[in-house]
Amino acid sequence: MSAKILSGTVVRDVRIIELIKKFKAILPAPKLAIIRVGNRSDSTAYIGAKMAFAKKVGVTACHIHLDENINQQKIIDEIEKCNRDESIKGIIVQLPLPIGINRDVVINTIDPRKDIDGLTATNIELLTLGRPNAVVPATARGVIELLNFYNIQIKDKKITVVGRSQLVGKPIAQILLNKGAHITVAHSKTIDLVTETRGADIIITAVGKPNLITVDHVSKDQIIIDVGISRDGELDVKTGKNKLVGDVDFDSVEQVLGEGGAITPVPGGVGPMTVLCLFENLADII
């Protein structure tokens, strides 16, 4: 028997109903500023998804598109304008920023009260301290809400997080630690990664390296959350693009897990949860 599929699309479609109700009760409709620097194609796709979701839930999204060659101070000036604008309740700076721009300086210009990505130093500190008012980065929140929706226990479980980025790996590990899990943080070059993953109850991988997690890395009845995403799959004849794939060799790993295990697909797993949780963060801070 195959493993249970943990669909983020299903969770999103259930939770969006409540989110629409929340935003409908907020008058005037809240505004979200999305600040983008440059013309990366992946940023175009991500921003398009956020703009579409904003429209669906009743949020006014404003896309501020800045030239790739703009200097850092002008980016900061734009953020400070949004900080002062009382109609703007949330601010996103689309990452990554161009080379030569100090990401931390730019992000920390955002008013922490409008930081729905949860990336300012203020929110990172609150998360580290386990404070309930911390804004949790959307992907990390999405992972936790996905586990909760499918009634997967976190407390006292052995969880290996593969990936240590500030955006995903570290905040996920911190939240799980706060919730009483036993955490191991690994990465793509960890010596004997197989041992670190095979002994876990839950594997959460967020590296962006196709086929990093194979049948050698997993055991029967495990839960696997695949956050990694890249376009290294076979060519999709409909779109002319390579298909999206995760860190996990899905087809073979799914069979090893068996009916007692569970796994997220890519796409359709954590991705839909990330956009949902970004707007749940916005609703929570208003």
Question: Is residue 73 among the annotated active site residues?
Answer: no
- Say whether both 265 and 166 belong to one domain: yes
Of 76, 95, 125, which marks where a domain is finished?
A: 125
236 pLDDT band (50/70/90 cuts)? low
For residues 66 and 63, give the distance between their C-alpha atoms in angstroms, rounded to a whole number: 10
- Say whether both 259 and 234 belong to one domain: yes
Question: Is residue 249 among the annotated active site residues?
Answer: no
- Say whether both 263 and 163 belong to one domain: yes
Residue 238 has pLDDT above 90, yes or no: no
pLDDT of residue 240: 62
- Say whether both 112 and 217 belong to one domain: no
pLDDT of residue 8: 97
For the chain, the domain total comes to 2
pLDDT of residue 239: 61
Half-sphere exposure of 282 (CA within 13 A, CB side): 31
Mean pLDDT of the chain: 94
pLDDT (average), residues 1-8: 90
**DSSP string covering 58-84:** T-EEEEEEE-TT--HHHHHHHHHHHHH
pLDDT of residue 286: 87
Q: What is the domain-level CATH number for residue 61?
A: 3.40.50.10860
- Say whether both 32 and 117 belong to one domain: yes
- Say whether both 49 and 142 belong to one domain: no
Of 93, 125, 157, which marks where a domain is finished?
A: 125
pLDDT of residue 49: 92
Active-site pick, 117, 201, 247, 249: 117
Taking only the tens place, the pLDDT of each residue in 87-96 is: 999 999 999 9
104 found inside a domain: yes
237 pLDDT band (50/70/90 cuts)? low
pLDDT (average), residues 260-277: 96
- Say whether both 190 and 240 belong to one domain: yes
- Say whether both 261 and 142 belong to one domain: yes
- Say whether both 151 and 188 belong to one domain: yes
- Per residue, the 3-state secondary structure of 14-32, as one string, reads HHHHHHHHHHHCCCCCCEE
pLDDT (average), residues 69-84: 97
Of 102, 125, 148, which marks where a domain is finished?
A: 125
Cβ within 8 Å of residue 43, ≥6 positions away: 36, 94
Q: What is the domain-level CATH number for residue 191?
A: 3.40.50.720
Range of the domain at 84: 25-125
Active-site pick, 31, 94, 247, 249: 94
Taking only the tens place, the pLDDT of each residue in 106-141 is: 999 999 999 999 999 999 999 999 899 999 999 999
Question: Is residue 153 among the annotated active site residues?
Answer: no
Model pTM score: 0.92
- Say whether both 261 and 193 belong to one domain: yes
192 found inside a domain: yes
pLDDT (average), residues 246-264: 95
42 pLDDT band (50/70/90 cuts)? confident
Active-site pick, 31, 50, 114, 157: 50
258 pLDDT band (50/70/90 cuts)? very high
- Say whether both 175 and 218 belong to one domain: yes
Taking only the tens place, the pLDDT of each residue in 167-206 is: 899 999 999 999 999 999 999 889 999 999 999 999 999 9
**Does an H or E element contain 282, and which?**
helix 270-285
pLDDT (average), residues 38-66: 93
pLDDT (average), residues 55-76: 96
* Residue scoring higher pLDDT (244 or 232): 244
16 found inside a domain: no
**In this structure, are residues 182 and 159 in contact, taking their beta carbons and an 8 Å threshold?**
yes
Separation of CA 16 from chain center:
17
pLDDT of residue 235: 58
277 found inside a domain: no
257 found inside a domain: yes
- Say whether both 118 and 188 belong to one domain: no
